[in-house]
Amino acid sequence: MPTIEGIIFIPAGFFSFFFRPRFLFPLLIFSAVFQASTIVSFGTIGLQPYYFISILFILRFLILEMNRDSKVLRQYSFVKIWIVFAIFAAIATAVLPALFHGVRVFSPDFTIDANFLNPAHLSYRFGDALQVFLLFLNVLVVIAALKQVKNVALSHKAYRWSSYLVIVIVLLQVACFWRGIPFPTQLFNNNLAYGIVGMDADQLRPAGSFTEPSMAGGVLAAIAASYLWMYFAGKSNILRAGIAVVACLLIASSSSLLAIAIVVLIFLVANPVMRFPWFLRIGKLRRLSAFFISGAALSLLMLVPNIRNILLAQTVQKGTSWSALARLGADLFAFHLTLQTHGLGVGLGGNRPSSLVASLSSQVGVIGLCLFAYASYRTLWPLPKAYRWIGMAAITLLLSMAFGLPDLSFPFLWILFALAAQSRAVDALEAH
């Protein structure tokens, strides 16, 4: 049966495909927000809105328009690197489970805690082939985004409004929790194919429209970083970034908070108020002053008991909890598995660690990890100065994932890569 998201995205997707193709990419950006949703429900089988729209997007701009402006697909080195990475991952997934059959792994079918106590034996799974399919789909989305050169303003508007939507959903969840009002969780978290983590009666940790708080936190950290870049570039006010940071604090994901802290340090180093020898940058001084004042105001949130308790529980106290030890153990196990397989890994979906770096190294090995890192670098650098907020958002999300999100197929990450590819295509068009 169609869900609420299906009632919205299915007709909107087909209408855009046949009559308004320029709306497909903005619609794809919006769909990435609903990671815990499905457009149709068949028991435990669901289809995310993102993947439904991405198939229409690819069909329209890579297959039906294959002969139109095909040169644009061959002039970017990152396109070839992503294709090589996807092919390498597919070969690894087909070969390595047979080569290392029976090796102990953390099975994706069980939680990290359960795997920690009783690791499974490596074998072929349907989910492994599905991971390969999703990787190719995401790579094709990035390639198709190169053809969106006339659609950049609408795409950026879609990113802005989708970021507002993420923030609003999280804040509404928090408000309902505080007021004792039941939040319609099933409206956004209706994909039974995922193990969805929700709030309980004693804990304030919203996940928004994502499957777990750490994923929502990573997206909010990326959104905050993009608005911080715009703020320091003089293209936005501090309010947007501040609200995103507040939502991220309410989620209290340690990986996303660490990513934000690193990005803030980068911004401070990259925006000195003095220029050699004695030139004072008044504009930067004003922005930095407003930034520090806003930071001081945000620190007052620690006076709220609920927020203080959850932040302490998820940062200071979590470091000595069983959950933290299990996740650290899962990553250490993944790195040991990389060594055990001579740096080759066990194929996509073959092992379940707690972070993206450990996930890539144990699944596609050292070569696959290097290919992914290089493809990401070539996609995000160099970006035109006007669009570098996309790169900062992607770097922040990658940092958050490196600390605590192992999902290579995470839709919002590939949306940022696609936006970066679009901006590269726009810059190349303007240069000619």
What confidence tier does 294 reach under pLDDT thresholds 50, 70, 90?
A: confident
Per-residue tokens: 92: 């690894």
Helix axes 388-404, 411-431, angle to 10 degrees: 150
Q: State the Cα–Cα distance between residues 228 and 235, nearest whole angstrom.
A: 10
Which tens digit of pLDDT belongs to each residue from 336-354? Answer: 999 999 999 999 999 989 8
Q: What pLDDT score was predicted for residue 16? A: 95
Q: Is the predicted pLDDT of residue 281 greater than 70, yes or no?
A: yes
What is the pTM (predicted TM-score) of this model? 0.92
What confidence tier does 411 reach under pLDDT thresholds 50, 70, 90?
A: very high
At a CB cut-off of 8 Å and minimum separation 6, what does 1 contact?
Answer: 40, 41
Q: State the Cα–Cα distance between residues 361 and 372, nearest whole angstrom.
A: 10
Residue 149 resides in a domain: yes
Q: State the Cα–Cα distance between residues 158 and 227, nearest whole angstrom.
A: 14
* pLDDT: which is higher, 322 or 62: 62
Per-residue tokens: 14: 């087909």
Distances (CA, A) of 54 to 44, 49, 142, 145: 21, 8, 10, 11
Cis peptide before 305 (omega within 30 of 0): no
Stretch 132-160: mean pLDDT: 93
In three-state secondary structure terms, 76 is coil
Q: What pLDDT score was predicted for residue 149? A: 83
Q: pLDDT > 90: what percent of the chain?
A: 51
Instruction: Please give the helix or strand (H or E) that residue 279 lies within, else none.
Output: strand 279-280
Distance, C-alpha 91 to centroid of its chain? 25
Report phi then psi at 2, rounded to 5: -70, 145
Report phi then psi at 19, rounded to 5: -120, -30
Q: State the Cα–Cα distance between residues 95 and 124, nearest whole angstrom.
A: 10
Q: Is the predicted pLDDT of residue 305 greater than 50, yes or no?
A: yes
Residue 402 resides in a domain: yes
At a CB cut-off of 8 Å and minimum separation 6, what does 103 contact?
Answer: 121, 122, 337, 340, 341, 346
At a CB cut-off of 8 Å and minimum separation 6, what does 327 contact?
Answer: 112, 354, 404
Which tens digit of pLDDT belongs to each residue from 87-101? Answer: 999 999 999 999 998
Helix axes 238-251, 213-232, angle to 10 degrees: 160
Identify the weakest region by mean pLDDT among 243-247, 267-271, 330-334, 343-347.
Answer: 267-271
At a CB cut-off of 8 Å and minimum separation 6, what does 171 contact?
Answer: 247, 250
Residue 377 resides in a domain: yes
Q: What pLDDT score was predicted for residue 178? A: 80
Q: What pLDDT score was predicted for residue 199? A: 47
Residue 25 resides in a domain: no
Residue 31 resides in a domain: no
Residue 164 resides in a domain: yes
Q: What pLDDT score was predicted for residue 177? A: 83
What confidence tier does 58 reach under pLDDT thresholds 50, 70, 90?
A: very high
Q: State the Cα–Cα distance between residues 98 and 96, nearest whole angstrom.
A: 5
Residue 247 resides in a domain: yes
Q: What pLDDT score was predicted for residue 187? A: 85
What confidence tier does 123 reach under pLDDT thresholds 50, 70, 90?
A: confident
Q: Are 145 and 422 spatial neighbours (Cβ–Cβ below 8 Å)?
A: yes
Q: State the Cα–Cα distance between residues 362 and 360, nearest whole angstrom.
A: 6
What is the extent of the structural domain holding 420?
71-431
Q: Kindly report the CA angle at 210 between 261 and 215, in degrees rounded to 5?
A: 30
Per-residue tokens: 393: 């958002």
The H helix count followed by the E strand count for the chain is 17, 6
Per-residue tokens: 10: 């299915």
Q: Is the predicted pLDDT of residue 195 greater than 50, yes or no?
A: yes
Q: Is the predicted pLDDT of residue 200 greater than 60, yes or no?
A: no
How many structural domains compose the chain? Answer: 1
Which tens digit of pLDDT belongs to each residue from 171-193? Answer: 999 888 888 888 888 888 888 77
What confidence tier does 85 reach under pLDDT thresholds 50, 70, 90?
A: very high
Residue 62 resides in a domain: no
Q: What pLDDT score was predicted for residue 194? A: 67
Q: State the Cα–Cα distance between residues 190 and 197, nearest whole angstrom.
A: 12
